[in-house]
Amino acid sequence: MEDKDTKIISGIEEKAEHITPAEVDKVLSSEKVIDAKEDKVKREKLFKLFDQVKLGMQMMKDFKAKRYTQVPWRTVGLITAALLYFINPLDIIPDILPIFGYTDDAVAFAAIFKSIQTDLKNYCHWKGLDPANYF
C-alpha cells in the first residue's frame, strides 16, 4: 500500500508544479461535485479532512478574489491538483467502491493538507477562524 500512496502523492505534487489559473477556475467551479462527494465521504467518517478541504476551497476563493494574497502559489497548486484528483471519478481506486473508493483520495488529501498546514492555519487567523476546528 505504501508504494501506491507514494505514487498518488507524487503525482499530485508533480501536477501542482504546473497548475494553471484555468485549472484553479475549474476546481472552484466544481464546488457542487466536491460537495456531493464530501457528503458521501463524511458518512464514511472523514470529517476533519473535509473540513480542511472546505477551508482550502475558501482560501482559494479569497485568493482568486484578491482578498487574501499571502498564500504561496505552491499551496494553491497543491490544493488545485488534489481537488482535480478528487473530482476525477477514474482515479486509482474507483470512487464507486464503498469506503475503499475514497481511500486513495483520503491518503492524498491527508498528505497534501499536512504539507500546507501552516498556510491553512495562517489563513484561519486572517479569516478569524479557530484552527482547532480544522486540525
pLDDT at 89: 56
Give dist(CA 115, CA 127) in Å, integer.
20
Give dist(CA 88, CA 134) in Å, integer.
25
Tell me, rounded to whole angstroms, the distance of Cα 40 from its chain centroid.
16
Return the closest-CA partner of residue 9 out of 108, 110, 115. 108
For 74-120, the pLDDT digits (tens) are 999 999 988 887 777 554 444 444 444 556 667 778 888 889 999 99
For 107-127, the pLDDT digits (tens) are 778 888 889 999 999 999 999
> Can you read off the three cell numbers belonging to residue 18?
504546473
> Can you read off the three cell numbers belonging to residue 104?
486513495
Query: What angle is formed at CA 40 by the lines to CA 134 and CA 78, rounded to 5 degrees?
Result: 50
Q: Give helix then strand counts, H and E, for the chain.
A: 7, 0
Cβ-based neighbours of 111, under 8 Å, separated by 6 or more? 5, 9
pLDDT at position 45 over 60: no
Whether the model clears a pTM of 0.75, i.e. scores above it, the answer is no
Give dist(CA 37, CA 66) in Å, integer.
28
